[in-house]
Chain A
Amino acid sequence: MKRYASIFATFARACLVRDMTFRVNFLLECVTSIGWMSMNLAFYLLIFTFTPEIGLHTGWTREPFFAFVATGLIINSIVQALFMPSAEELTEMVRSGGLDGVLVQPLDAQFLLSMHRVDFSAFANGFIGIGLLAWAIVRMDATPTPLAWLLYPLLIVCGVAILYSLVIMLAAATILMGRNQSLYDFWFYLTNFSRYPAEIYAGPWGSPLRTLCTFVIPILLVVNVPARVIAMPLEGQAVGMVLAPMIAAAASLALSRVVFLAAISRYRSASS
């Protein structure tokens, strides 16, 4: 474990050195990702000029909703910074045979493949998210309880773990299929469901979708549960709600590990 931590530190250090070599590019990446985020925020602000709430009596009025958005930003920035750059590179590694070099090293392949790159610029959005969260909480009617403050970081870790498992399963698919340019698209479209409060998935089409995205692919637990814990008072059924992401995180981590190992054992390697 200590060895893995020190190897990860080496990776992170190397990436930082690299980012600082291309400083302008690094800054541009920060600026563009902040730009993308501000655009989304502008869109939500625009929506709230036409409505007081997202969904009737859901409680997602302007400030709680922005607390929700902030939570999403924090979780996604962690995933984008730590895991996505490596996963994106995987397609190229499979195609060019770079994966071969990874497999001969005395190190867990999943660790190496999912964490060898760190994109520090992706943390920019996380910091904005923290600022936005503070802004929303200050302006909200209800203030979070100490318990909520305790649960919030824990649930964020669970959310990150669930998304990480998804990244690993997509990586496994890449290894099996040899190439998969839609990896990133797939990721984007799937996590798209977690961008809004779960309550919007209502009605004859929405309810089954909500069930599917809660219990089968637990994507709705990622942002919703921590956001709800921090932005709304905890009620009676809160225990189940808080436990769900923890169970889901453990289960999806285990499943993704199995899938990944199966994919590696079927790896064909690029011919040369």
Chain B
Amino acid sequence: MHNSNDKRTCGDALGEPSLIAVTGLAKDYRVYDKPEGLLASVTGLFHRTSRLVEALKGVSLTVGRGEFVALLGPNGAGKTTFLKLLSGIITPTRGTARVLGHVPWERADDFRRRFALVMGQRNQLWWDLPAAESFRLHKEIYRIDTPRFERTRDELVDLLGVRPLLLQPVRELSLGERMKLELVAALLHEPEVLFLDEPTIGLDVVAQHTLHTFLSHVQTERQMTVVLTTHYMKDVAALCERVVVITHGDILYDGSLGDIVDRFTTHKIVTLDLDDTPSHERMAGFGFPYEIRGPQVILRIDRARIADVLPDILRSQSVRDVSVEDVPLEEIVAELFRSGESPATARFAEALP
């Protein structure tokens, strides 16, 4: 597993500045409380209470060219706010950011021509028109010259196999088909930086897989920098080397996906197929028995002990089949999110060397 920190240092050494450099970026929102109950609503006509919500508490981060970064975090953690700040949609309360050398919220045309933002839940294509029309508009807006436009469009369209859909009104397409066309639109101007906000939300497994293959292909080909938010660990496993975990508006972890697994999996899951049904006590001697169903046993075993325990099991039991697996990624990350919730827990980021 490639370590992103190494990559970054390497990039700096070559004199190439980070494509995205963020320091102390914070965004506060004033939220008006909606009082419960009828009476309170009436008094609310004359007096409203508000409080300050820190959507982002001061995030610092650098991303180098060609990196594929996943932003993970529970709902409301500040991922989308972060992406909106980086794409210049909103202005921060504090902090600085440079994307492609520009301050995003100044919204220079030169900056906006060089990146793209795709939001899984929102539609950029004209609803009642065929996607080809939206592409043509895109060509005008991004000032893409005709040969380049046609070449890029044909290439992307063929990669995703959506050529037959180009002349159909977008409203008649399925969610997956629409998402593919959204991606084509976003990549037409060959952005150097791509922000993806939950691009696979609501898609079926096949469509997800298609998008994964497509994205990783285009990313490698173009050496594009991609920042992605998602709730699906499949996206992360398929696409991203670097993972940034955000909870409560703060970075909790920044490192490679492999590191997360290494550092935060304390146990392995061992599944045994035995000849007979073992007793609970017998199994508890090896590790924590998750489940004993007949001769099938699932054990959770300390990672440090696995090398000692496994031969023991094989020697003392009559084992028909055995498999050793990591704790599922979802569980690790869920654990990571939870750890961010209690302030007593030391921040993982600080615990890292």
A254 within 8 A of B: no
Interface residues of A in 1-32 (CB under 8 A from B): 3, 6-7, 10-11, 14, 17-18, 21-22
B141 with A7: CB separation less than 8 A:
yes
- Docked pose: A60 CA to B121 CA in angstroms: 56
Question: Interface-forming stretch among B84-92, B287-295, B304-312?
Answer: B84-92
The residues of B that contact A271 with a CB separation of less than 8 Å are 80-81
Interface residues of B in 115-155 (CB under 8 A from A): 115-117, 119, 121-124, 126, 128-129, 133, 136-137, 140-143
Q: Looking at the complex, which one of B88, B137, B142, B143 makes contact with A103 (CB distance below 8 Å)?
A: B88
Interface residues of B in 70-99 (CB under 8 A from A): 80-81, 84, 87-91
A6 with B140: CB separation less than 8 A:
yes
A265 within 8 A of B: yes
- Would you give the 0/1 interface string for A97-127, flagging 1 where the beta carbon is closer than 8 Å to chain B? 1101101111101000000000000000000
Summed over the interface, the residue pairs from A and B with CB atoms below 8 Å come to a total of: 77
- Docked pose: A7 CA to B136 CA in angstroms: 10
B88 with A11: CB separation less than 8 A:
no
A21 with B141: CB separation less than 8 A:
no
The residues of B that contact A11 with a CB separation of less than 8 Å are 137
> Do most interface residues of chain B lie in helix, strand or loop, or is the interface mixed?
mixed
- Docked pose: A10 CA to B84 CA in angstroms: 28
Tally B residues with Cβ within 8 Å of A: 35
Tally A residues with Cβ within 8 Å of B: 28
- Docked pose: A89 CA to B112 CA in angstroms: 23
The residues of A that contact B109 with a CB separation of less than 8 Å are 106-107
Q: Considering the complex, give the chain A residue whose CB is closest to the CB of B137.
A: A10
Q: Considering the complex, give the chain B residue whose CB is closest to the CB of A9.
A: B140
A201 within 8 A of B: no
A267 with B140: CB separation less than 8 A:
no
The residues of A that contact B264 with a CB separation of less than 8 Å are none
The residues of A that contact B136 with a CB separation of less than 8 Å are 10
A96 within 8 A of B: yes
B122 with A267: CB separation less than 8 A:
no
B90 with A106: CB separation less than 8 A:
no
B141 with A101: CB separation less than 8 A:
no
The residues of A that contact B87 with a CB separation of less than 8 Å are 100, 103-104
Q: Looking at the complex, which one of B89, B113, B140 makes contact with A7 (CB distance below 8 Å)?
A: B140
The residues of A that contact B112 with a CB separation of less than 8 Å are 104-107
**A121 nearest CB across to chain B (Å):** 15
A103 with B107: CB separation less than 8 A:
yes
- Beyond A97-B122, A105-B112, is A17–B141 a contact (Cβ under 8 Å)? no
Interface residues of B in 183-217 (CB under 8 A from A): none
**B261 nearest CB across to chain A (Å):** 29
- Docked pose: A6 CA to B116 CA in angstroms: 22
The residues of B that contact A17 with a CB separation of less than 8 Å are 129, 133
B129 with A101: CB separation less than 8 A:
no
B232 within 8 A of A: no
Q: Looking at the complex, which one of A6, A18, A107, A267 makes contact with B89 (CB distance below 8 Å)?
A: A267
A14 with B129: CB separation less than 8 A:
yes
Q: Considering the complex, give the chain B residue whose CB is closest to the CB of A6.
A: B140
**A89 nearest CB across to chain B (Å):** 11
Q: Could you jot down 17 A-B contacts, CB within 8 Å?
A: A6-B140, A14-B126, A14-B129, A14-B137, A18-B128, A18-B129, A21-B128, A21-B169, A100-B84, A100-B117, A100-B119, A101-B117, A104-B88, A107-B112, A265-B91, A267-B89, A271-B80
**Chain B residues engaging chain A, CB cutoff 8 angstroms:** 29, 80-81, 84, 87-91, 105, 107, 109-113, 115-117, 119, 121-124, 126, 128-129, 133, 136-137, 140-143, 169
Known contacts A106-B109, A266-B91, A272-B121, then 17 further A-B pairs from the complex at CB < 8 Å, ordered by chain A residue: A3-B143, A10-B140, A14-B126, A14-B129, A100-B87, A100-B89, A100-B117, A100-B119, A100-B122, A104-B89, A104-B117, A106-B111, A106-B112, A106-B113, A107-B109, A267-B90, A268-B29
5 A-B pairs with least C-beta separation: A106-B112, A106-B109, A106-B113, A7-B140, A18-B128
**Chain A residues engaging chain B, CB cutoff 8 angstroms:** 3, 6-7, 10-11, 14, 17-18, 21-22, 96-98, 100-101, 103-107, 109, 265-269, 271-272
